[in-house]
Amino acid sequence: MGERTEYDKLIRDKIDQRIESRGAEAILEQVEGEELWERLHQKLDEESLELHEAKTDEELANEIGDVVEVLRAMCEHKGIDWDDVEAARVKKAEERGGFSEGKVLKGVVEK
């Protein structure tokens, strides 16, 4: 038996097939319900950190794609249609604006 590396993290659906195609054994646990929800939150944190550490435009595009994939999985898990998420995003952007102008609120003085 070879060396075993421990991970204990949520993976993409086809990663185990890629591991096994190179002759290794993928040791899996299937999670669902609240355990899956918690693992999706952990994966979002992991992917957000990787996005923060990305240096090139290609790395940024890949990491943004990973974050979006986790968000889509979270929606699927909760039965939320991605189109509803996009509609909510557009509505908020129309009412409150987006984040492209780089405004930072430092405080408010009431009059």
pLDDT for position 19: 95
Distances (CA, A) of 31 to 11, 38, 49: 11, 10, 23
Q: How far apart are CA 26 and CA 28, in angstroms?
A: 6
pLDDT at 49 over 80: yes
At residue 2 the predicted structure's pLDDT band, cuts being 50, 70 and 90, is: confident
**Tens digit of pLDDT for each residue in 61-82?**
999 999 999 999 999 999 999 9
The model's pTM is 0.88
- Give the pLDDT mean for 31-35: 97
- Amino acid identity, position 37: W
DSSP character string of 29-55: ----HHHHHHHHHHHHHHHHHHHHH--
